[in-house]
Amino acid sequence: MRSEVEGVIEQLGYQNLRPGQEEIINAALDGKDVLGILPTGSGKTLCFQATGQLRAGVTVVVEPLLALMRDQQLRLQASGEKRVLAINSQLAPSELSVVLQNLSYYQFIFIAPEMLTRPDILRALQAVKVGLLVVDEAHCIYQWGPDFRPAYLRLGDVRQRLGAPVMALTATAPENVRSVIVRQLRLQNATIYAGSVDRPELFIGRESLLDQRAVNERVGALLAQVAGPAIIYCPTKKLTEQLAQQFSGLHGRRVAFYHAGLDGHTRTLRERQFTEGSLDTLFATSAFGMGVDKPDVRMVLYLGVPATLEEYMQAIGRAGRDGQPALTALLYTAKDAQHTAGMLANLPSPILVKALYRAPKAYAGSDDPQIQLVLAYQQAGYSASEVNQALDARIGSKQKAFSAVVNFLQADGCVRAELLHYFDSPAKTHDDFCCGIADAGVLAQIHSEQQADNQGFNTWQEVFKQIFNVSD
DNA sequence: CGGTGGGACGATAGCGTCCCACCGGTGCTCTATT
């Protein structure tokens, strides 16, 4: 290892490097573009913190959430680095104009893509030397760019104008997503480090159930059998509230629900309570998770059919970060699959795009998500036909991603192998603590066997073997 | 695609039933009012 790297990681409070980190840091220090796919945890943060400390010039870090900017800022400040800035809407306009004139003072600048694509801010950054552009949670480019946050699609432009090498980091990116990231960010001869995304400590269960009632009962049974903190992902806000009420206090569990309809204060509070342990069971939508780093989540249940396997992998990946065994299960009904399928083409039509481009002011302030999306494209500098083109391509890629989900649901071999094959990543060898498939009929049988043999369980392996019909 | 909430309607004075339109998960930022 380079000695200067060694010194910096020690200063940042880390013991040593994990696989991949050294390759990523070295490539970035040499001024190369790099895309790093690393399993969850602090692994990615260390990469850009260390590189940023050692490279001349400002390190600009694109983060998707205000909460992530805040966390990262605090972490760096705690390690003794004071030249850290977060540029976002929390900054008063007067403060913003002051910092924009003093950007070169800072070593790290955290910013959301919407702010980074703003002309005045981009100009201010162009005027200083940017040594490194980091795109954290880079899968957002693919996952959120086209139909949620189009500013993510303008990062290639930004990169070109700043003239800095790029370090893109994510935990989940199969080959097709990697190529989207490379193309969108205009990476040149990028060093791609893709570690295995397998998580051997996770048991991966997959169950098809008859109806929603059966799903709910199954959730109750699993909450009773598996002790420890649990996240139950639900497809709708309404279901998070229903289930939280239904299972409140069950087996002494301290339960809450979490979704984007809650006010910011409550969200922050519940996240902290869950992280610190005064809540142990969270019924949540996909709003919960990014940036949450709770090590001892023992179970993640995913209710419904995800639109992409990335989304599913991100969700179950929040279990067992301490490396101890954890249970994950996908619980779905046939209706769930149809529900998800029906949402795929739910994007603004060319008619709406045309109307909005003719009279944008008439629609300003609308809370319709489709209108907001088109306006965001417009703000990001897209022409109407470019928007239509982007949305059209998006429908195709969503359908493709969903067909991978359907294949995954239908595959009857090793579930883990199937999943990791999609991520172009090697999987551990199948064993008892690997994965399992169950369907409604098998479950009824297991349930009655469990009632007959009410002995309690000794090891995680036994629990999982009994809960699931582990395939051989 | 499927669930659902709201409005219209019919047959009758308080309420069913049907149909249709619309919604469903994610978050930045800005702007105009309380």
Query: What is the per-residue pLDDT across A236-294, written as a single tens digit (0 to 9) for each?
Result: 999 999 999 999 988 899 999 999 999 999 999 999 999 999 999 999 999 999 988 89
Q: What is the pLDDT of residue A458?
A: 40
The yes/no answer on whether domain A2-194 falls in CATH 3.40.50.970 is no
Count the Cβ atoms, other than its own, within 10 Å of residue A397.
16
Task: Kindly tell me if the per-residue pLDDT of A447 is higher than 60.
Answer: no
Q: Find out whether A147 and A164 touch, Cβ atoms under 8 Å.
A: no
- Report CA(A410)–C1'(B5) in Å, whole number: 35
Enumerate the H helices of A117-235 as residue ranges: 119-126, 139-143, 155-162, 175-184, 212-225
Mark the nucleotides of strand B covered by protein, meaning any atom under 7 Å from a CB: 1-3, 23-31
- Report CA(A360)–C1'(B33) in Å, whole number: 22
Percentage of chain A with pLDDT > 90? Answer: 73
Stretch(es) of chain A classified as CATH 3.40.50.300: 2-194, 199-450
Q: Which helix (H) or strand (E) holds A48?
A: helix A43-54
Q: What is the pLDDT of residue A6?
A: 86
Strand partners, A60: A109, A133
What average pLDDT does the structure give for chain A? 90
Least confident of A11-15, A278-282, A399-403, A437-441: A437-441
d(C-alpha A173, C-alpha A184), whole Å: 14
The pTM score is 0.92
Which nucleotide comes closest to A113 if you measure CA to C1'?
A: B28
Protein residue at shortest CA distance from C1' of B27: A65
d(C-alpha A405, C-alpha A337), whole Å: 9
The yes/no answer on whether domain A199-450 falls in CATH 3.30.450.20 is no
Q: What is the pLDDT of residue A198?
A: 92
d(C-alpha A121, C-alpha A175), whole Å: 33
